[in-house]
Amino acid sequence: AHERSAQLQHLAQLGAGLAHETKNPLGIVRGLAQSIGQTEGVPDPVRRQARQIVDEADRTVGQIDGFITLARPQPMNPVPVDLAALYPHLLELLRPEAAARGVSVDHAPAGLRVLADETALRRALLNLMLNALYACESGGHVTLGAEALGGGARLFVQDTGTGIPAALLPQVRDPYVSGRPGGTGLGLSIVDMIAREHGWRLEVHSEEGKGTLVSLEGVAVV
């Protein structure tokens, strides 16, 4: 079992290295396509194709970044994080996307300061918020909240979206499992990894047609 574990770890490192190296030629392809699209006199069909290449390169790089994060997680550096400062900043980042989708967003940080790697926490909450936004139709609502619970804190994202099918719910933490067309299926896997690296728990409660509540539980407060 030890040898098998070491072999799997080695394969994960090789995969992460290959993924990292794949980003370099993709960056070149993206730059060439962007240059073509911005050249004067280029026919409109060619310009559209160049934009499609840029978009596809960006989507693929996003998938590669997600894979690298899962295959080669970074050590956490917990520091005190003031949710009253972090939450409004996250919502400002998401407001343009929320407005475009006709979804309202709000936050309730509950005056808490938590112990967390701030970069990893930002990434986890942004992933959860984006999932919630994409699950909502126009007129939907997303809340980013927190509450003291059991000597620690519970951070949560709640939406009024379509919910997760019951058959899919047990698999939502698995890589490449997504209930959204075009989704990579890496978002919740990354959040789950971040939670475990901190010693937290990722909980997902959802009812199809009524919405979803996703929470990080066992977060230390300071």
Question: Is residue 201 within 8 Å of residue 169, measured between CB atoms?
Answer: no
Predicted pLDDT at 6: 66
182 pLDDT above the threshold of 70: no
Predicted pLDDT at 179: 62
61 pLDDT above the threshold of 90: no
The helix/strand/coil state of 109 is coil
> How far is 134 from 169, CA to CA, in rounded Å?
17
> How far is 8 from 1, CA to CA, in rounded Å?
10
Supply the DSSP string of 135-199, one letter for each residue. HPPTT-EEEEEEEEETTEEEEEEEE-S----TTTGGGTTSTT--SSTT--S-HHHHHHHHHHHHT
Task: Report the sign of the C-alpha dihedral through residues 15, 17, 23, 28, in that order.
Answer: negative
Output DSSP code: residue 39.
Answer: S
The helix/strand/coil state of 42 is coil
The helix/strand/coil state of 16 is helix
Q: What is the per-residue pLDDT across 8-20, written as a single tens digit (0 to 9) for each?
A: 666 666 676 677 6
| The Cα angle at residue 84 between residues 138 and 204, in degrees rounded to 5 | 50
Supply the DSSP string of 57-81, one letter for each residue. HHHHHHHHHHHHHHHSPPPP--EEE
44 pLDDT above the threshold of 70: yes
